[in-house]
Structures are given as C-alpha cells and as structure tokens.
Amino acid sequence: MALRILEIVVPTTCAEEVHSQLAQEKLPPIIDSWIQELSADRSCVRVLVDAEDTETLTDAIAQICSQREGFRITSLPVEATLPMPTEETPAKEDGDAAQKSGRISREELFADVSDSSRLTRTFVIMTVLSALVAVIGLTRDNVVIIIGAMVLAPLLGPNVALALATALADAKLAWKSSGSLLAGLSIAFLIAVVAGAVLHPSAGIPQITARTSAGWGDLILAIASGIAGGLSYTTSIPSALVGVMVAVALLPPWVVFGMMLGSSQWGAAVGALLLTLLNLICLNLTGVLTFVLQGVSPAGGGKRKRLGECR
C-alpha cells in the first residue's frame, strides 16, 4: 500500500474545523491525523492517507482554504510506518469515496512529469548520443546497437508531459513539453542529415527499409507505447523501461528520415517521415486517453467534494 502524508498549513482559527471535516463520510477514509501548532496564527494538520486518495482530499481542502493567507498543502511519500495499516481500509458509505483511482494525485503527477520534460543539458547530451548510436546501428544493420540508442533516448518525458498537458488543458506545460520534444527531434534530425550526406547509406539495408513504411504493427506499437508512457507515471512501472518503448516508436524512423534526406533518397525519406508522424500522433493521443480514463482532469473540471467553509 503506497502512503502519503498531507501537511496542510492553515490559519489556526480553522485548523480544528479542517481536521474534523476530513472525517466526513463523503470523503475517503484517512488512516491517521494530528494537529501541530506552528505559531500563534498558523497550524499544520497532518493526515496519513492512501496515495490514491490524496487528490480527492487535496481538492476538498483547497476549496475551503485556498484563499486563506499562508495556506499550503505538501504531499510527502511514506517509506514505512508502524503500526502498519491494514490493506483493506473500510470504505465509507458514499459510493464515490469507495472508488479508487489507481494512481497518484494530479498534483504529484504534474510535478513528476513537469520535471522530466525540462530541456536540460543532460537531455541534449543524451539526445546527441542516442542519435549518433542510432546512425551507427542503422548503417551497420545491427539491432543491438539500435536498441542501445533507444535506451539512451530521453523522449519519454516530453511526450508524456504533452499528453498530460492536453488532459489538464495546461497551455504552459504544453508549450514547455513541445519545446523540449521539438528540440530533441531537431538535434537528432541534424545529426542524421549530416550522417546521411557523409555516409550515403543504402535504403536497401534491412533495418532502414523496415522504417520507411507504416503497417499495422507500427500502429499497435505506437498505441502500446502511449498507454505505457501514461501508466509509467501514474503507477509504479519503471519509466526507464517504458522510455525504450517510446524511443522505439520515434527515434529510429526519425533518424532514418534525416539520413535518407541527407543522402537525397526522397522516396525512402517520405516513408520514414510518415511513419514517424503516425507514431507521434498515436503515441500522444493514446497517452491523453490513458490519463482521461484514469480520471486525470483539470482541478476545477471534475466533481469535487465540498467541506464546510472555514470561519
């Protein structure tokens, strides 16, 4: 059972009310809670909850205290606690509260995805290395080297961030993730074009030929990659492994496009470009659908539990 501690800093005048309101039947059950007075006018209400319930509780608390001066909610992961909570916490009578989202909270998800989509020096270096390795693997027709390039490619973060931005209708995150994705693809493209102009690889190389046309297998791969990308951030799936799947759909055909363009093999270049676009569109659309099906929505867009107003 994944647990979180919610630290809710509120004015002392409404700390007791917030604490008592958290036990309402319309909200998910809490494992434990306590109040600490921070100063004469501020107190901290700490709540130990299941990670899947943090979004519902956070939304409810934010509705009554978000306008209060000094209000802040901090979510902290819990490695272990004693005594250990039972796996099956009794559900309250409200049907909505009994439903589990099966994911971490919207705010925690946003923080994780936003961090992974930043355009950093490491992102640029890893993109350069992955593109170079992909060029070597494609020209040598070596699957092992191509897989190595996909392990290096840091394309998971920007793609998942773009899908999340769409699900949350967050324009700022969309621009940020799009910028990182375009920067990464541009770097890989320039390297591939130069490599194609210098090496003049043949479009008949099997690993290159396989990436100059789209088929049902490529469509299924892109869809699976998009779903896995969304799940990797909302659940405990290792993101490094899923990142390889996303890179499979994007990096090799994109590098083939650049190489074929650089070597003036227009037919093969068009085929590789169409395959890349197909993969990119399907990957992001299925990523958005995955988030939507898991209940990820803008903070004000869904049904929210309302507590009594702080007085």
Q: Give the tens place of pLDDT for each residue, 152-191.
A: 888 888 998 999 999 998 999 999 999 999 999 999 999 9
Q: Are 226 and 287 in contact (CB under 8 A)?
A: yes
* Residue 166: per-residue pLDDT: 92
Give the phi and the psi of residue 108 in degrees, each rounded to 5.
-65, -40
> Band of the pLDDT at 240, cuts 50, 70, 90?
low
Mean pLDDT of the 60-68 span: 76
Is the pLDDT assigned to residue 73 strictly greater than 60?
A: yes
Domains of the chain by range and CATH?
Answer: 3-100 (3.30.70.120), 109-293 (no CATH)
Mean pLDDT of the 67-96 span: 71
> Band of the pLDDT at 307, cuts 50, 70, 90?
very low
Is the pLDDT assigned to residue 7 strictly greater than 70?
A: yes
Length of the chain: 311
More confident residue, 201 or 71: 201
How many other C-beta atoms can be found within 10 angstroms of the C-beta atom of residue 214? Answer: 18
Q: Are 38 and 57 in contact (CB under 8 A)?
A: no
- Rounded Cα distance, 275 and 264, in Å: 18
Region at 190 (left for phi over 0; alpha for psi -120 to 50; beta for the rest): alpha
More confident residue, 58 or 86: 58
What mean pLDDT, rounded, does the chain reach?
Answer: 84
Mean pLDDT of the 11-38 span: 82
| DSSP H or E stretch at residue 10 | strand 3-11
- Rounded Cα distance, 263 and 296, in Å: 45
> Band of the pLDDT at 12, cuts 50, 70, 90?
confident
